[in-house]
Homo-oligomer: A and B are copies of this chain.
């Protein structure tokens, strides 16, 4: 596969925590599984703590470690910058990378504000004219079951869409003594369940529906308004509390519930929460059209439920398609039917699609425009929540 003259694509990644580990797995594996027009090379990883980033490079297989993302962006052996930091630094890094002539893959949500996202879209637009590509990391689009669901919608298997129904439920902060990690602070995370989980389900709903929300009505809640400060620095997901007596305010939402309308007349409901005890990573989406329905549950990500409403009622029902056939998206590169893929495969597929987009020089999806649009929905959600749930149009 790797003939001497094979094209390569140097990747530099900023951030190396949970998302960084997942992306590394994607970059490391993609060329081993898929036929690609260019071979990704894991050139450099970047982080502020020299020792930690060096360890991360060794662990995850990056050739070198950097402590200044500006230096990393400047490297010749980096053609693609992969942004895995918290949302507050997305705009700065991504724009700089684009302006430096690099392709950019940016974790979701695209930014912590619409303004930042707009600037990113502008930068991406200019870069596109130079042949660069930019993608936002809504990785769940790359779960084969989701990609196949989209294909079924495109083929008209649902007919006229009536309903989209999505929940994304977790339970990792149910305990009031769970510490005040960065994800619970507005200055770092932008918002809480809304940005973290809600952005995923807004993107999925729009992606699968094939159209955009035109307005929303929302209600948000913060159940626990003060939490113990974390022991060390601003910790990640697993940050053990035990900060002694010191407490700080939770400045993001714990849960967000909203409804919305699509331009076509379909309606949608959304719920994102970190307070659903027993639901670990439960993203469920269902679409109902007049010809059929689709349902998906991330906790069973190799399965897709499909009801064909054009069949005789007596013989019809939701069927469980095991999305592991070679005809399914991405699957011809993997294992025989019935052999399950996992969460991290979405990152391998994302890496594949990014490499293909770079090779073709065409804008990959979800584009920064898509990311901005999600941001606009989230902003409308927050506005509606502040204004007594009033229906709030999403600007086009």
Contact = CB atoms under 8 A, between A and B. Distances in A.
18 contacts: A1-B59, A18-B335, A174-B309, A217-B388, A219-B391, A238-B336, A257-B259, A257-B267, A269-B271, A278-B316, A280-B337, A281-B337, A299-B322, A317-B322, A335-B344, A339-B343, A340-B343, A388-B390
Contact of A307 (B22, B176, B277, B335): B277
Contacts of A261: 219
Q: Copy number in this complex? A: 4
Contacts of A2: 58
A267 B385 CA distance: 13
> How extensive is the interface on chain A, given as a class?
35 or more
Interface of A: 1-2, 18, 22, 24-25, 28-29, 32, 55, 58-61, 148, 162-163, 165, 167, 169-172, 174-176, 217, 219, 221, 223, 237-238, 255, 257-259, 261, 265, 267, 269, 271, 273, 275-282, 286, 288-293, 298-302, 306-307, 309, 312-322, 324-328, 335-345, 384, 388-391
Q: Which of A58, A170, A344 has the most CB of B within 10 A?
A: A344
Contacts of A171: 288, 309
Given A259-B389, A318-B319, A277 B299 contact: no
B275 A338 contact: no
Given A275-B163, A343-B335, A319 B322 contact: no
Contacts of A390: 388-391
